[in-house]
Amino acid sequence: MYDAVVIGAGPAGYVSAIKMAHLGLKVAVVEKEHAGGTCTNKGCIPTKALLVSSHMYHEAKNKAKRLGVNVQGVSYDFKAIRSHMQRAINTSRKGVEYLFKKNGIDYVKAEARIEKPGVVRAGDQTLQTRAILIATGSKPTIFPPFDQVEGIWTSDDVFKAEALPESILIVGGGVIGVEMGAFMGMLGAEVHIVEIMDHILPGEDQDIADVVKKSLTAIGVKIYESSKVTKVEKRGEAFVATIETPKETFDLRVSRVLLSVGRRPNIGEDVKELGIAVEKGIVTDDHLRTSVEGIYAAGDVRAKIMLAHVGFHEGIVVAYNIKGQEKKVDLSVVPSVIYTSPEVSSVGIREKDMDGERHGVAKFPVAASGRAAAMGEREGFAKVIYEKDTGRVVGFSMVGPFASELVMEAAVAIKHGLTVEQLASTIHPHPTISETLLGAFEQAEGKAIHL
């Protein structure tokens, strides 16, 4: 008899299992594919590995000479890039498997089916348990006309490619779309991105999206905003898509089409047969309990914020609740990152969502940073949203070098109610890109020293 059986070894599932083991519970994890889930095998890790390679190639080819470094005959080997990607995947995957073994967790590689509360069928095994965690993740969304055309890629398929496509149409200018566009564009592919909203990265502010758009355009990526693909046909080895923009409708011929319009929860028939409440995703309370006693859900399968680090948090909350130590999920402060060049990060409210009467906004440009000048970087800025009456930081966005790392200063500030005065009076090391944040905090306080 197990204390818990976890279905799915992705971020929510494996972290929950490890935390439960730390709490002294007997745990089994059932996974039909690979440890690490989408993030490790078809998402975060392989995408970032590919982007590291393409960014290094682009920097050597376009920036090295300006910095006094002469590089001759720069080229890339796509097979070697894929090998680097696969090593990153394998390292992460094996790391999860090692942690299972280290913490005494039984790892069952099989397809799971919940027979009834307390009973999970895993391949030819029947597992008896006090509690069940459903952490089956999500899969790419695909819909007409794209699901009716053979050979349309989703994000899952990009990582199987043996060669860089000569040309590609990316349908959807969200996070995955722009990251894939950046990767392929930096390697020299002809890239077209179509976004139905009025700007790419519609979850971010316009000024953030504009910097990313400028950088993508500089590497030759064609971007069509407020536009849509109305038709796609396979013609021989190529695809012909009809694109409708505010100014014209035209046909585009490309060697590949990537549909990148989000993900949907991966919910099995067993969940529906058990009568577990499902809306867009599995419905839970704040303790991540489903409508069926003894069964929990965490991660993408809930269809809330589909990010790996949210899955980590939710998995830990489930672990404590199964142990009997009451905890509620808290998604009030969730940093998000986009690994374009320059990087984007945000946490808290965006400028587009702020209350102009209650909130103020301050910005500081990357170009005013001494470290940025030394790096040859000029694009981007840090932006802080704060309460006018208290000075408390409630939102932050950045586009620029190391944005993915620097966002945590703002996340801690928002989480713990710190003010722009407290942050501006904290000594930041010089010369660093973190001084861009300092400049934004100073600007919010009155006037930045270096602006």
Could you confirm whether domain 342-445 is CATH 3.30.390.30? yes
CA–CA separation, 50 and 84 (whole Å):
8
What pLDDT digit, counting tens, does each position of 357-398 carry? 999 999 999 999 999 999 999 999 999 999 999 999 999 999
Contact 437, 386 (CB under 8 A): no
- Structure token digits, residue 77: 């080997």
Domain limits of the chain?
2-139+264-323, 146-261, 342-445
pLDDT score of 401: 95
Question: What pLDDT, on a 0 to 100 scale, did the predictor assign at position 449?
Answer: 87
Give the C-alpha separation, 285 to 329, whole Å.
9
Residue 208 pLDDT: 97
**Contact at 8 Å (CB) between 185 and 212?**
no
- Predicted local confidence at residue 167, as pLDDT: 97
CB atoms within 10 A of CB 405: 13
Instruction: Note the pLDDT tens digit of each residue in 77-102.
Output: 999 999 999 999 999 999 999 999 99
- Provide the whole-model pTM: 0.93
Q: According to the model, what pLDDT value does residue 451 have?
A: 85
The Cα–Cα gap between 291 and 294 comes to 9
Strand 119-122 with 112-116, pairing: antiparallel
Domain 146-261 fold: FAD/NAD(P)-binding domain (3.50.50)
Task: Give the model's pLDDT for residue 448.
Answer: 87
Domain 2-139+264-323: state its class: alpha beta
d(CA 16, CA 265): 19
| The two domains 2-139+264-323 and 146-261 share their CATH topology (first three levels equal) | yes
Q: How confident is the model at residue 439, as a pLDDT?
A: 96
Which residues, given as ranges, of the chain have pLDDT below 70? none
Residues paired with 419 in a beta bridge: 392
Closest among 344, 72, 386 to 209, alpha carbons compared: 344
CA 36, CA 45: separation in Å to the nearest integer? 10
Phi, psi of 140 (to 5 degrees): -60, 140
Task: List the catalytic residues.
Answer: 430
Q: List beta partners, residue 27.
A: 4
